[in-house]
Amino acid sequence: MKLLAALLFSLVTLGAFAQGQVLDEHLPAGPFPVPGPIFGPEGQQVGTAKVYPQYVEIFNSDDQLLGKVGIIVSRGAAQLQMVNQDKSLTLIGYAKHGRIFDREDNVLGTYFWTPTYSFVYDTEGKRVGSTKCIAWPRVCSVGVAGYLLRLIDGKEPKDESKP
């Protein structure tokens, strides 16, 4: 009976932590954000991806929030969308089939992800950087690609239609 009670307590405790619930108000609510370093082409750290369950925040090397990437369901299909962290949270691009697109549907580069590492390439196939994301690697990879390909910069996009 003691073994059964101990097993039940362990399952309830582990389940609560897995769901991010706090059993003690002095402990943090789960493991989020999970940080992932962003590396430039020479292997130097140029930023950080902070991974949450439903989105990823991209920070530069000064720890300034530049943008976010998340999954948006549109017309019955899930798409990875990127927004800048400007006043209007402007939609700046998206990812599809391993490619990164800007708002005008131009391909800016590609990304390749594994369960641990992600790699970003420009349109000529040159590696522009990488990251180590151990949580939600595809979403993390897209955010890092947007940053390394200079799509996510935290600034309001220029409106080409204005003089």
pLDDT category of residue 72 using cuts at 50, 70 and 90: confident
pLDDT category of residue 12 using cuts at 50, 70 and 90: very low
Asked if pLDDT for residue 32 goes beyond 60, the answer is yes
Asked if pLDDT for residue 37 goes beyond 80, the answer is yes
CB atoms within 10 A of CB 40: 16
Q: What b/e string do you get for 43-64 counting C-beta neighbours within 10 Å, with b at 16 or more?
A: eeebbbbbbbeebbbbbbeeee
Please indicate whether residue 131 or residue 90 has the higher confidence score (pLDDT): 131
Asked if pLDDT for residue 5 goes beyond 90, the answer is no
pLDDT category of residue 8 using cuts at 50, 70 and 90: very low
Out of 41-55, 56-70, 86-100, 101-115, least confident range? 86-100
Mean pLDDT of the 32-40 span: 93
Q: What's the pTM?
A: 0.72
Structure tokens at 112: 């390749």
